[in-house]
Amino acid sequence: MKHTTGSIEVITGSMFSGKTDELIRRLRRAAIAKQKVQVFKPAIDVRYAVEKVTSHTGADFAALPVEKSADILPRLDADTTVVGIDEAQFFDDGIIALAQELAGRGLRVIIAGLDMDFRAEPFGPMPTLMAVAEKVDKLQAICMVCGGAASRTQRLVNGKPARYDDPVVIVGAAELYEARCREHHEVPR
Radius of gyration of the chain (CA): 17
Q: Residue 76: its pLDDT value, please?
A: 98
The per-residue pLDDT of the chain, averaged, comes to 92
Q: Report the b/e string of 49-74 with b at 16+ CB within 10 A.
A: eeebbbbeeebebebbbbeebebbee
pLDDT tens-digit series, residues 4-13: 689 999 999 9
Fold of 7-140: Rossmann fold (3.40.50)
Q: Residue 159: its pLDDT value, please?
A: 87
Per-domain residue ranges for the chain?
7-140
Counting every residue written for the chain, the total comes to 189
pLDDT tens-digit series, residues 141-158: 999 999 999 999 999 988
Q: Residue 30: its pLDDT value, please?
A: 97
Band of pLDDT at residue 25, cut at 50, 70 and 90: very high
Judged on CB neighbours under 10 Å (0-12, 13-18, 19+), 123 is buried
Judged on CB neighbours under 10 Å (0-12, 13-18, 19+), 184 is middle
Q: Would the pTM count as exceeding 0.95?
A: no
Band of pLDDT at residue 52, cut at 50, 70 and 90: confident
What residues act catalytically? 87
Phi and psi of 37, rounded to 5°?
A: -110, 135
Q: Residue 46: its pLDDT value, please?
A: 57
